[in-house]
Amino acid sequence: MGSKNKLKRFQENENFNNVIQPSRQEIFDGFSLKGEWHTFFNNNNPIVLELGCGKGEYTLALAKKNPDVNYIGVDIKGARFWRGAKIALEENIPNVAFLRTQIELIDLCFTQEEVDEIWITFPDPQIKYKRTKHRLTNLSFLEKYKTILKKGGLLHLKTDSEFMHAYTLGLLHGLNYQVLYANHDVYNSSGYPSIVTEVQTFYEKQFLAKDKAITYIQFKLEEK
């Protein structure tokens, strides 16, 4: 994407009423929507996050499927989720928002037990050992998610990375957390929620075209 296109998208995001772009300082000083997201959506409906939402395909699809649930796509790359934000406005999907921030700050953007469910779709697996701290399912991130999730809240990891799948599964088993479903080739299995295969991201379609297996884990951050 050219710099001019990125700049244009950044400028449009500034005017989209479904895009929130706090600075790091604003978040550290006390993010105004933390614990107050119901005021943004003007309802008390459940809140579901898509972390590393990219273009926001899952955020949009889930919001269309469940109008009585509020969905927030979270990503630091505003030029990517610009597409999802624009579509949500054009199609008048009111239960969608996009938050531009680093996921490491997620526990400063939501208060305790404010979130009902979390989706992590095709994150960078950060395979190199020195990049472990950036994996979205490492222990540090799981602790942040546990803080903001309501009791019984579900997490979903969908990825093309066997490494990410195995790493996460091993960590969850080591912590004795509840793994409700896990499969390393979800399109050739059964028993998963239909939304897992009903929605395909841009990159997922490319992976499937190359016959690459898609993995999926559904779990809770609660001991068995």
**pTM across the whole model:** 0.94
Question: How many structural domains are present in the chain?
Answer: 1
- The proportion of the chain whose per-residue pLDDT surpasses 90, expressed as a percent, equals 85
**Residue 140, domain CATH:** 3.40.50.150
pLDDT digits (tens, 9 = 90+) for 135-150: 999 999 999 999 999 9
CA pair distance 11, 190, nearest whole angstrom: 44
Is the pLDDT at 1 greater than 90? The verdict is no
Residues 46 and 116: beta-carbon distance below 8 Å: yes
Residue among 124, 160, 185, 211 flagged as catalytic: 124
Note the pLDDT of residue 4. 66
Is the pLDDT at 3 greater than 70? The verdict is no
- The proportion of the chain whose per-residue pLDDT surpasses 70, expressed as a percent, equals 98
| Torsional sign, CA 81, 115, 132, 25 | positive
Domain hosting 83: range is: 3-22+31-223
pLDDT digits (tens, 9 = 90+) for 77-101: 888 899 999 999 999 999 999 999 9
* Rama region for 126: left / alpha / beta (φ>0; ψ in -120 to 50; rest): left
Residue 185 falls in the annotated catalytic set:
no
Note the pLDDT of residue 80. 87
